[in-house]
């Protein structure tokens, strides 16, 4: 038997680490999982409370540094002077806030443009389509719904056209014997040459 807790020996005398032992054994029980979850949540709530306290302390320190308490004792002229200084600092802070907001908007727009470029470069992946045996009527019915009935018999929509019968004049045919005699003259032309 081993002196170390992390390793153990099996029947054949081979050593195993504790992680291999855990993977072969049972998984974590639900009560243990629930206990660990609750402990994690408690730790997270403590961290959030500490963070809130730190933010509040930083806010108070900033206000004490940048906004000292005004001295309100004195005559009206001194008070008006204090009010003017406060208004000037308010205007200065508003200008800074406006400039910072403009910078943030510009940076956000650049980020969005870059994100769109990344999407364009990656391209849109088309999903693999499955072969479906479906008639055209069934496909249109699936697309348009059961309310619309579509007939795919396209020949039914065509206009009916009557075919005109051309009559050949009988005079052009003439007597067949005369045609043979005319052709015989032609035959003689070729034979004589």
Residue 164 located in a structural domain: no
Do residues 55 and 78 both lie within one domain? no
Do residues 35 and 59 both lie within one domain? yes
Do residues 33 and 53 both lie within one domain? yes
Do residues 50 and 81 both lie within one domain? no
pLDDT surpassing 70 at residue 41: yes
pLDDT recorded at residue 32: 93
pLDDT recorded at residue 148: 63
Residue 130 located in a structural domain: no
Q: What is the mean pLDDT of residues 66-87?
A: 83
Do residues 78 and 118 both lie within one domain? yes
Q: Which residue has the higher pLDDT, 114 or 136?
A: 114
Do residues 110 and 84 both lie within one domain? yes
Q: Which residue has the higher pLDDT, 34 or 135?
A: 34
What is the pLDDT of the chain when averaged over all its residues? 79
In terms of residue numbers, what domain contains 83? Answer: 72-125
pLDDT surpassing 80 at residue 139: no
Domain termination residue (choose one: 81, 105, 125):
125
The model's pTM is: 0.34
**How far apart are the C-alpha atoms of 183 and 90, rounded to whole Å?**
118
**How far apart are the C-alpha atoms of 142 and 150, rounded to whole Å?**
11
pLDDT > 70 fraction of the chain, expressed in percent and rounded: 73
Residue 8 located in a structural domain: no
Q: Which residue has the higher pLDDT, 18 or 38?
A: 38
Residue 177 located in a structural domain: no
pLDDT surpassing 60 at residue 3: no
Do residues 52 and 83 both lie within one domain? no
pLDDT surpassing 60 at residue 14: no
List, in sequence order, every residue forming a beta bridge with 8; answer none if it has no partner. Answer: 16
pLDDT, tens digit, for every residue of 150-176? 566 667 777 788 887 777 655 555 666
> Quick one: three-class SS letters along the chain?
CCCCCCEEECCCCCEEEHHHHHHHCCCCCHHHHHHHHHHHHHHHHHHHHHHHHHHHHHHHHHHHHHCCCCCCCCCHHHHHHHHHHHHHHHHHHHHHHHHHHHHHHHHHHHHHHHHHHHHHHHCCCCCCCCCCCCCHHHHHHHHHCCCCCCCCCHHHHCCCCCCCCCCCCCCCCCCHHHHHHHHHHHHHHHHHC
Q: How many domains does the chain have?
A: 2
pLDDT, tens digit, for every residue of 84-128? 988 999 999 999 999 999 999 999 999 999 999 988 888 777 778
Rounded to a whole number of angstroms, the CA Rg of the chain reads: 49
Do residues 49 and 87 both lie within one domain? no
Do residues 61 and 39 both lie within one domain? yes
Residue 152 located in a structural domain: no
Give the model's confidence band at 71: pLDDT under 50 very low, under 70 low, under 90 confident, else very high: confident
The answer to whether 16 and 6 have CB atoms below 8 angstroms apart is no
């Amino acid at each position: 038997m081993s002196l170390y807790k992390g390793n153990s020996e099996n029947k054949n005398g081979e050593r195993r680490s504790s992680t291999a032992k855990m993977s072969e054994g049972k998984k974590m029980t639900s009560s243990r999982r629930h206990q660990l979850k609750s402990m994690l949540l408690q730790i997270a709530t403590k961290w959030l409370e500490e963070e809130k306290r730190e933010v509040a302390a930083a806010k108070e320190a900033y206000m004490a540094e940048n906004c000292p308490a005004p001295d309100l004792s004195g005559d009206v002229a001194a008070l008006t002077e204090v009010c003017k200084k406060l208004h000037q600092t308010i205007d200065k802070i508003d200008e800074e806030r406006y400039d910072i907001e403009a910078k943030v908007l510009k940076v956000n727009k650049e980020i969005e443009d870059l994100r769109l470029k990344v999407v364009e470069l990656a391209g849109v992946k088309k999903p693999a389509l499955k072969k479906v045996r479906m008639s055209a009527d069934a496909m249109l019915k699936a697309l348009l719904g059961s309310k619309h009935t579509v007939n795919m018999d396209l020949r039914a929509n065509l206009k009916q056209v009557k075919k005109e019968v051309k009559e050949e004049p009988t005079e052009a045919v003439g007597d067949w014997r005369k045609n043979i005699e005319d052709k015989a003259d032609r035959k003689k032309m070729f034979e004589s040459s």
